[in-house]
């Protein structure tokens, strides 16, 4: 059952907090680019522009797939919003991942969710759940690293617990109890129902996102590897492993440095350490560029829709 819209007027302090949040995140995004700029220039010089463009498009599609995964997660909890509303909320709030701590996208998203008539607690809960779904799917994909990358055969204790715990948590009976516990903690008591179809859809969209992220990495190495299927598989699995490990380093903004090091470890034996390092750094800057572009587009659409709403009310 769809929950009724929550009509709230945002207080001034929340608007100021959003501005500060955005400013800090943008500064840290720029810092990531500046620190890696020289290495990025050297790396991109070894790649064709068609490969870079294909990689950027794949990253953008993966990000949009994650938006749809979150929209389905929110629908699972009973709140349905449009694709445009979901994009305005998530694409703006996700730049909080560049702020150390790991929770800032959820904090920002819970504030912006009120624009679509969704209570902050429900928005925060759905964002946390979507992150758990993404981490679980990424953990399952990462299991492939244990089979295809002998050097990681002793790392089973990292990915197997993540995948196992995630699968248990996403089982409807367990998930329902966890949601009820979260509702009591957030002082939002009430019946918790789970739409299994929406949960499945959210999981499938998360897998689509991981697929595009893997393709984004493969696009950068396909020319050197001649599109070998094994390299495609390594990119798919390697990206998931690097993201999961980078996510666990919550004090590192967006896993910067950690993910690149993991990718070099995973792909260096196949492509060579120098080429893999270049590809990893180019992939990182591409991600920042896509995040920034989608952030500006979503922010522009958000302000436009808010202005039109004020004009209609006036």
192 domain-assigned: yes
How far from 78 is each of 32, 105, 203, 276, 296, CA to CA, in Å?
A: 38, 21, 17, 44, 29
pLDDT band at 122; cut points 50, 70, 90: confident
Of 303, 301, 309, 297, the residue nearest 63 (C-alpha): 297
Domain count, the chain: 1
CB 42 within 8 Å of CB 304: no
Tokens 């493969």: give the residue. Answer: 218
276 domain-assigned: yes
Alpha carbon 32 to its chain centroid, in Å, reads 17
56 domain-assigned: yes
Pairwise CA distance, residues 240 & 235, whole Å: 8
Check residue 251 and give its pLDDT: 58
pLDDT tens digits, one per residue of 156-193: 566 677 667 767 777 777 777 777 776 666 665 455 66
pLDDT at 9 over 60: no
153 domain-assigned: yes
5 domain-assigned: no
pLDDT band at 94; cut points 50, 70, 90: confident
Alpha helices by DSSP H, listed for the chain, are 12-44, 49-76, 83-93, 104-112, 120-148, 156-170, 172-185, 196-225, 229-248, 258-271, 273-313
177 domain-assigned: yes
Of 99, 85, 100, 169, the residue nearest 134 (C-alpha): 169
pLDDT at 216 over 80: yes
Query: 195 or 269: which carries more pLDDT confidence?
Result: 195
State pTM to two decimals: 0.80
Q: How large is the greatest C-alpha to C-alpha distance in the chain, in angstroms?
A: 65
pLDDT at 10 over 70: no
Check residue 6 and give its pLDDT: 44
Going by the DSSP 8-state scheme, the letter that residue 190 receives in this structure is S
Any idea which of 36-40, 42-46, 220-224 has the lowest mean pLDDT?
Answer: 36-40
Share of the chain above pLDDT 70, in %: 70
Query: 213 or 257: which carries more pLDDT confidence?
Result: 213
190 domain-assigned: yes
CB 69 within 8 Å of CB 202: yes
2 domain-assigned: no
Pairwise CA distance, residues 298 & 70, whole Å: 16
Domain with 270 in it: 12-313
pLDDT at 141 over 70: yes
Residues 192-226, buried b or exposed e (16+ Cβ, 10 A)? Answer: beebeebbebbbebbbbbbbbbbbbbbbbbbebbe
Check residue 150 and give its pLDDT: 60
């Amino acid at each position: 059952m769809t929950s009724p819209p929550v009509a709230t007027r945002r207080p001034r302090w929340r608007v100021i907090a959003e501005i500060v949040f955005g400013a800090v995140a943008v500064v840290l995004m720029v810092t990531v680019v500046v620190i890696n700029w020289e290495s990025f220039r050297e790396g991109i010089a070894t790649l064709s522009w068609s490969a870079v463009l294909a990689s950027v498009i794949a990253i953008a599609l993966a990000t949009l797939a994650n938006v749809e995964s979150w929209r389905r997660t929110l629908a699972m909890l009973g709140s349905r919003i449009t694709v445009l509303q979901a994009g305005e909320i998530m694409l703006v709030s996700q730049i909080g991942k560049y702020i150390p701590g790991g929770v800032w996208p959820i904090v920002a998203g819970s504030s912006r969710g009120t624009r679509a008539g969704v209570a902050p607690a429900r928005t925060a809960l759905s964002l946390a759940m979507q992150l758990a779904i993404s981490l679980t799917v990424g953990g399952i994909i990462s299991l492939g690293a244990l089979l295809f990358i002998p050097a990681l055969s002793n790392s089973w204790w990292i990915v197997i617990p993540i995948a196992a715990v995630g699968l248990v948590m996403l089982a409807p009976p367990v998930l329902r109890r966890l949601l009820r516990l979260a509702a009591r903690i957030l002082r939002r008591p009430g019946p918790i129902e789970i739409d299994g179809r929406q949960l499945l859809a959210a999981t499938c969209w998360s897998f689509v996102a991981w697929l595009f992220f893997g393709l984004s990495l493969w696009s950068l190495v396909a020319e050197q590897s001649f599109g070998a299927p094994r390299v495609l598989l390594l990119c798919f699995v390697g990206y998931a492993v690097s993201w999961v490990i980078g996510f666990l380093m919550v004090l590192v903004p967006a896993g910067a440095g950690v993910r690149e090091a993991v990718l070099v470890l995973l792909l260096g034996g196949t492509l060579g350490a120098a080429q893999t390092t270049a590809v990893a750094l180019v992939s990182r800057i591409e991600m920042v560029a896509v995040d920034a572009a989608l952030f500006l587009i979503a922010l522009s659409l958000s302000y436009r829709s808010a202005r039109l709403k004020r004009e209609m009310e006036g």
